[in-house]
Amino acid sequence: MIRLTVMMYVRYPLSLRQVEDILFERGIDISHETVRFWWNRFGPMFVAEIRKRRVYRRSYSLLLWHVGRSSYGSMASNIIYSGAVDHESKVIEVLASKQRNGKAALKSLRRAISRYGSPQVIVTDCLASYGAVLKTLKIKFRQRCGRWLNNRAENLHQPF
């Protein structure tokens, strides 16, 4: 019951009193202060357990990656952001560089693959440098490219 209460508070955008009301509807009569106490006491334990399981399985980022580049700044100091986003729009890797070439893309992809493992499918914009990078990595995965397939990666600089 404690785990259910804490996970409701963590997982969904509910206030302490809303969690109290939901549990009261299910026949559990507790105070919102009890929910807060349980969150402070058991929340870090549950979060550490979830993170450990998630890193161990690594299944959340192995399905599909969207890889893209965006440039910002003036003509004098142009900064290129290379990044990868998984299928849940969670940012996997971001690399800022001054060059827009295969070397920067290779560095970004190598770092992401070493941290999260190789994905099954990579969605890119149809630049030739990505094809060359994927050949040098010598990892078997599918590359999909299309006109609007990679919008998720192109919007990775936006906060929401």
pLDDT in tens, 17-57: 999 999 999 998 999 899 899 989 998 888 788 777 765 55
Sheet holding 79-86, edge to edge: 91-97, 79-86, 64-72, 121-124, 142-145
pLDDT of residue 25: 92
84: containing domain: 60-154
Q: Are residues 16 and 81 in the same domain?
A: no
Give the Cα separation of 41 and 43 in Å (integer). 6
Q: Are residues 131 and 89 in the same domain?
A: yes
Give the number of residues written for the chain. 160
* Among 10, 39, 57, residue at a domain's last position: 57
Q: Are residues 128 and 51 in the same domain?
A: no
* Among 13, 34, 57, residue at a domain's last position: 57
Crossing angle, helix 16-25 and helix 2-11, to 10 degrees? Answer: 130
User: Does residue 38 sit in helix, strand or coil?
Assistant: helix
Q: Are residues 90 and 123 in the same domain?
A: yes
- This prediction has a pTM of 0.55
pLDDT in tens, 76-111: 677 777 778 887 777 787 777 777 777 878 888 888
pLDDT more than 70, % of the chain: 83
pLDDT of residue 11: 76
Q: Are residues 110 and 81 in the same domain?
A: yes
**Contact (Cβ atoms closer than 8 angstroms) between residue 99 and residue 80:** yes
